[in-house]
């Protein structure tokens, strides 16, 4: 595959880039009219159709086929179209297209046409890479037989019957006898290689013409062109498949890492909560309340313009109390009210949290700052930076309300559980003092909608 990619010229690269873009926005299909330069150039095949409508020449059909080729993501469509075209335009007993398949390391018949019994059933046969015909094509020795590269059975028989013909090269004669044997098995009158930049990607097989006539030079040229289109379509689809695979891999690994990260954060949050016997599940509840608030204020410009706002809020809420790891047990679990000194120790937890999380480079700076400032008051009386109003990060203002509500409605060592309406009253009372009024009203709206889940109330 890498070799193939090296062959890609600038047109294909453009196409590739365009396709990645499409894949990224999950559109999938490529519209043909968006690509102007990618239609493959065609040799000037002059071909007059012998049947009823001479005006409708092959060249035009071919050109249309090649143009619409870009539309197809799987080469099977184009391959089917080409074998249909051959079947319709040139009456032959049967046709078949073999395409190299990496997993089988062989050329597999992926499409065929002709009467039942005459055609080889699709998927029924394969040609291995040591097959004489495949070898001949791979080594390019078919060009010793004809300029077009097509192997014509009748010529092969004629040549082998002529004593002077290649009599000085017994090896080549043996090779050609083997090739004839393979064509006998396939009942092929014509075998045409599908090359893309000298790599054999497939083989086009044609049986005898129904009329019994020989194939004309123009017909053979047409088949050679079609065979090259097949190769181009295969290359195209392989490139696209590879790209899709790579995009998927990147997406998967991102998802995997992200899941790992969220789970790590969750584990950490659980660890913090576990130390504090009275606040089990606190971090998860604060997260849940915060998300409910967010749903009510998602019109805010800070929220709208930040694609990762939701995710950042999730992580911040989970980790906001991580600094409590650094608070001694006897203070954290103390019954009764705290002394002035003890209070000061507890108030250090936002700074400790910042210090703990700082080395995690992957964590957005906004998250770390939001954790540092989740105990600020709207009036500037909070800690540690005494930030005021909108200077407090929006993430912190949301968590501030969620955190306070859970503290008031959970049993704490220093305070028994307040009644729900009392807690709501406190929020209202301290709106504009401790809390951002906009966030408080968002919380009230969520509360009325029952989207505040109170597992432990």
Partner 1 sequence: MKDKKIAKLMVVDVEIDICNFIKSFFEERDFEVVYAHNSLDALPMVEREKPDVLIMDIKLPGMSGLDALPYIKSINPDTKVIIVTNINDEEKINEARSKGAEGYITKPLLLEELLETVKKICFKSDLITQGSGNKLFSKIKRK
What is the total residue count of the chain? 457
Is the Cβ of residue 103 or residue 450 nearer to partner 1 in the bound state? 103
Is the Cβ of residue 132 or residue 427 nearer to partner 1 in the bound state? 132
Among 62, 79, 82, 127, binds partner 1 (CB under 8 A): 127
Q: Tell me which H or E stretch contains 111.
A: strand 106-114
157 is a contact residue toward partner 1 (CB under 8 A): no
In which residue are the tokens 């196409």 written?
15
Among 92, 186, 317, 392, binds partner 1 (CB under 8 A): 186
Residues 415, 408: Cα–Cα separation, whole Å: 8
Alpha helix locations (H) across 365-455? 365-372, 394-409, 420-429, 437-448
Is the Cβ of residue 53 or residue 116 nearer to partner 1 in the bound state? 116
Among 46, 48, 56, 124, binds partner 1 (CB under 8 A): 124
Is the Cβ of residue 106 or residue 371 nearer to partner 1 in the bound state? 106
Is the Cβ of residue 7 or residue 124 nearer to partner 1 in the bound state? 124
Among 13, 48, 129, 185, binds partner 1 (CB under 8 A): 185
125 is a contact residue toward partner 1 (CB under 8 A): yes
Is the Cβ of residue 100 or residue 447 nearer to partner 1 in the bound state? 100
- Rg of the chain, C-alpha, whole Å: 37
Structure token digits, residue 437: 């009024």
Among 126, 141, 173, 445, binds partner 1 (CB under 8 A): 126
Sites for partner 1 among residues 373-392 (CB under 8 A): none
**Residues touching partner 1, count (CB under 8 A):** 18
CA atoms within 13 A of residue 46's CA, in its CB half-sphere: 0
Structure token digits, residue 195: 């090359």
Coil, strand or helix: which one is 357?
Answer: helix
E strand map for 142-238? 151-152, 190-196, 199-206
Among 128, 162, 337, 344, binds partner 1 (CB under 8 A): 128
Question: 90-119 mask for partner 1 (x: CB under 8 A)?
Answer: --------------x-x-xx------xxxx
Within 8 A by CB and 6+ apart from 187, the residues are 93, 94, 118, 207, 208
Query: Bridge partners of 109?
Result: 98
210 is a contact residue toward partner 1 (CB under 8 A): no
Q: What are phi and psi of 108, to 5 degrees?
A: -110, 140
Is the Cβ of residue 28 or residue 121 nearer to partner 1 in the bound state? 121
Is the Cβ of residue 207 or residue 393 nearer to partner 1 in the bound state? 207
Q: Helix 437-448 vs helix 282-296: angle between axes, to the nearest 10 degrees?
A: 100
Closest to 244 measured CA to CA, from 1, 66, 34 = 1
Among 30, 120, 176, 191, binds partner 1 (CB under 8 A): 120
Structure token digits, residue 270: 């659980």
Name the minimum Å distance from CB 134 to partner 1. 12
Query: Residues interacting with partner 1, by CB under 8 A?
Result: 104, 106, 108-109, 116-121, 123-128, 185-186
């Amino acid at each position: 595959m890498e070799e193939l990619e090296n062959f890609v010229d600038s047109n294909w690269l453009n196409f590739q880039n365009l396709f990645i873009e499409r894949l990224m926005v999950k559109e999938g299909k490529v519209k043909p009219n968006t690509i102007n330069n990618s239609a493959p150039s065609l040799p000037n095949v002059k071909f007059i159709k012998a049947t009823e409508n001479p005006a409708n020449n092959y060249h035009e059909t071919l050109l249309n086929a090649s143009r619409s080729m870009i539309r197809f993501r799987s080469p099977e469509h184009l391959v089917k179209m080409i074998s249909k075209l051959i079947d319709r335009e040139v009456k032959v007993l049967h046709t078949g297209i073999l395409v190299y398949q990496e997993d089988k390391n062989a050329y597999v018949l992926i499409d065929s046409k002709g009467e039942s019994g005459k055609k080889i059933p699709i998927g029924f046969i394969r040609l291995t890479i040591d097959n004489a015909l495949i070898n001949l094509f791979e080594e390019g020795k078919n060009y010793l037989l004809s300029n077009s590269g097509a192997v014509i059975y009748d010529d092969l028989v004629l040549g082998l019957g002529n004593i002077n013909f290649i009599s000085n090269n017994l090896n080549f004669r043996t090779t050609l006898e083997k090739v004839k044997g393979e064509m006998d098995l396939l009942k092929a009158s014509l075998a045409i290689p599908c090359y893309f930049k000298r790599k054999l990607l497939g083989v086009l097989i044609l049986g005898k013409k129904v009329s019994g006539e020989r194939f004309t030079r123009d017909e053979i040229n047409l088949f050679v062109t079609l065979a090259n289109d097949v190769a181009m379509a295969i290359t195209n689809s392989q490139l696209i498949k590879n790209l899709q695979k790579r995009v998927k891999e990147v997406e998967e690994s991102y998802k995997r890492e992200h899941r790992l990260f969220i789970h790590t954060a969750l584990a950490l949050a659980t660890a913090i909560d576990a130390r504090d016997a009275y606040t089990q599940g606190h971090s998860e509840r604060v997260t849940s309340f915060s998300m409910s608030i967010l749903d009510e204020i998602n019109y805010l410009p800070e929220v709208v313009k930040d694609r990762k706002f939701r995710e950042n809020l999730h992580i911040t809420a989970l980790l906001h109390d991580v600094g409590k790891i650094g608070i001694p047990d006897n203070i954290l679990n103390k019954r009764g009210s705290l002394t002035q000194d003890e209070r000061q120790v507890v108030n250090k937890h936002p700074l400790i949290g910042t210090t703990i999380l700082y080395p995690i480079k992957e964590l957005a700076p906004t998250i770390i700052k939001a954790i540092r400032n989740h105990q600020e008051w709207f009036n500037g009386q909070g800690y540690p930076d005494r930030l005021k109003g909108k200077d407090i990060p929006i993430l912190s203002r949301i968590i501030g309300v969620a955190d306070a509500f859970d503290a008031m409605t959970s049993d704490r060592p220093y305070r028994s559980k307040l009644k729900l309406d009392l807690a709501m009253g406190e929020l209202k009372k301290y709106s504009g003092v401790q809390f951002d009024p906009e966030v408080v009203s968002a919380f009230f709206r969520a509360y009325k909608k029952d989207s505040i889940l109170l597992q432990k109330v």
